[in-house]
Structure 1
Amino acid sequence: MVKSVTSFATFFVFLVLLGTFEMRTVLAQQRWCEVLSGTWSGWCDNSDHCDRQCREWEHYDHGSCVYRVPFEQCMCYYQC
């Protein structure tokens, strides 16, 4: 009886540690860095246009309009 409880506890700890490692790996792979678009000028009111410009003109992964003081700006994103 004690051996089966110890085996179960060991297996449970192993699963928790494995799950933690896998979660860290996924989060590290999905980390995004942002940079202000170098080719966008003026107010950014359409994220689709910003996304297209970041991808096609500046060769980033994607882009989006983001509020930065004093107005919405086109930010480009890439995986760090």
Structure 2
Amino acid sequence: MMVEGRVCQRRSQTWTGFCGNTRGCDIQCKRWERASHGACHAQFLGFACFCYFNC
């Protein structure tokens, strides 16, 4: 039996400004915040970097 882990997201603690580069966000989340991955997503009137963690 295989059990999938839950994935939690939170806004990056280290990314500043507009997030228009998902690859850059992904790299920063992995290196600086030890996340599984990261991506840019719409938030309010702009785009923010979100990091994803196994929880």
Query: Normalising by the residue count of structure 1, what TM-score does the alignment of the two structures yield?
Result: 0.63
Q: 2:11 aligned to 36, 46, 50, which one? A: 36
Q: Distance in 1 between matches of 2:46 and 2:6?
A: 25
Structure with max Cα Rg: 1
User: For residues 57 and 73 of structure 1, what CA distance do their matches in structure 2 show?
Assistant: 16
1:65 is the counterpart of 2:40: yes
Q: 2:31 maps to which residue? A: 56
Structure 1 runs not aligned, ≥5 long? 1-21
Residue 75 of structure 1 corresponds to 50
- Which segments of structure 1 move beyond 6 Å, counting only runs of 4 or more? none
What stretches of structure 2 of length at least 5 have no aligned partner?
A: none
User: Is 1:47 aligned to residue 22 of structure 2?
Assistant: yes
**Larger RCO of the pair (alpha carbons < 8 Å, separation 6+):** 2
Equivalenced residue count is 55
Return the alpha-carbon distance in structure 2 between the equivalents of residues 58 and 43 of structure 1: 18
RMSD: 1.3
